[in-house]
Amino acid sequence: MKTLCTIIYAKTNNCFILLAITCLLGAGRAAERPARRDARLEEELRGLWATTHAEDAGEPGVDPRLAEEFERRYGAWLKFLDDPGTRFSSGARQIGNPYFDAIVAMGPKAVPMLLRRLQAATEFEEKARAWRRGHPPGEPIPRTAGDAVAPEWLILAISRVTRVSRSVAARPALEPGAWEAQATAYVAWFNNLEENTRTEFEKRAPAWRGLSEGAKPVLWTETTFYWPQMGELPTRREFTEAGRAYRALLDLGIPALPLIVERLRMGETCFVPIFEELTKSRVFVHGPSAAVTSSNCIEWWERNKNDWTIPKYNP
C-alpha cells in the first residue's frame, strides 16, 4: 500500500510537473507573439521619422537647400518643445516663440513638409496607442526627436502660413480636443487643395459680391458698455451680414488668391479688399494712402505668385 501510494504520489507529482512544463511552454509561445508585435511597433514608430525626413529631400519641386533649411529650423523647434520648461507650460509659449516664427517665416514652400510631419504625427499617435495597450502605464514609448511636435502645433503652424481657417480645413472634426481628427481632415483638404478651394470659393463669392456692390459695406458694428461700478468695458464687435461674407472668403486663405485674380480680371473690383487683406496689404501705389485698383493687384500677383503659391502635397 505504501509503495502504491508512493507510486500514485509520484505519478501524480510527475503529472503535475509535466502539466506545469506544458503550461510554461504554452505561456512562452504566447509571450513570443506580443514580443514580435512590440518589436514591429517599435520599428514602425522609429521608422516614421526617418521616412518623413527622407521624403522631404526627394519631394518633386522641392529645392534640396529649402529642405535642409526646413530641417534645421524644425529641429530647433523640436528641441525647444522637448525642453521640460516648455513641455509643461501653456500652449501660448509653445507657439509664441522665435522657433515657431522661424518655421512660419519660410512661407508656403514649407507647407508640404509640415503636412508630411502632420500625417506622420497622426500615424505615430495611432501606433503609440497600440503600444500603450500592451505595456504597463508609464512605460516610455520608443522615441526619436521627431515625435516631439504634437499634431495641434503643426496644425497651427500650417494655419498661420496659409491663413486657411480651421473652420474650413477641419470643419468635420472641430470638437474640442479632437486634434487627431482635425489633422486627418487637414491632410485630406490640402491633398486636394485646388479643387476644394474652388468649390468653396464659388459657394461664398456671390454673397460678398451682392452685399458689396454700390456703397462701401459696413463689415461690423461696435458696442461699448458702461457700468457705473466697473467703468467702461471692452468694446464688443459684431459682424454684419456683409462682414460674415467677407470673413467667409478670408477663411479660404491664400489658396484663394488665384481665384480672386480671375475675378479681378473679369472686372469684379469688389474682391480688391479681400486680396489686400490676404496679402497683408503688401500692394502699395505711391505710398500707403493711395487707392489700390484691380490692375495693381494683378500686377503684384504676377510678380509674386511663385512665392505665394502652395506647392502640391504628395502624401
- Asked if residue 217 and residue 165 are part of one domain, the reply reads no
- Does residue 8 form part of some domain? no
C-beta separation of 270 from 222 below 8 A: no
Give 56's pLDDT tier (boundaries 50, 70, 90).
low
- Does residue 40 form part of some domain? yes
- Asked if residue 110 and residue 225 are part of one domain, the reply reads no
- Asked if residue 106 and residue 160 are part of one domain, the reply reads yes
More reliable by pLDDT, 247 or 84: 247
Please tell me the distance from the alpha carbon of residue 187 to that of residue 119, in angstroms, as a whole number. 7
- Asked if residue 214 and residue 75 are part of one domain, the reply reads no
- Does residue 70 form part of some domain? yes
Query: 267: domain range?
Result: 194-307
- Asked if residue 185 and residue 40 are part of one domain, the reply reads yes
**Number of independent structural domains in the chain:** 2
Instruction: Annotate 261-313 with DSSP letters as a single string.
Output: HHHHHTT-GGGHHHHHHHTTT---SSSTTSPP-HHHHHHHHHHHHHHHSPPPP
- Does residue 25 form part of some domain? no
Closest CA to 50 of 147, 169, 185, 159: 147
Q: What pLDDT shows up at residue 30?
A: 44
Give 252's pLDDT tier (boundaries 50, 70, 90).
very high
C-alpha cell, 260:
480672386
Q: What pLDDT shows up at residue 15?
A: 46
C-beta separation of 100 from 78 below 8 A: no
Q: What pLDDT shows up at residue 218?
A: 78
- Does residue 202 form part of some domain? yes
Please tell me the distance from the alpha carbon of residue 223 to that of residue 238, in angstroms, as a whole number. 8
Give 114's pLDDT tier (boundaries 50, 70, 90).
very high
205-224, pLDDT tens digit by residue?
A: 999 998 877 667 777 777 66
Give 36's pLDDT tier (boundaries 50, 70, 90).
low
More reliable by pLDDT, 9 or 231: 231
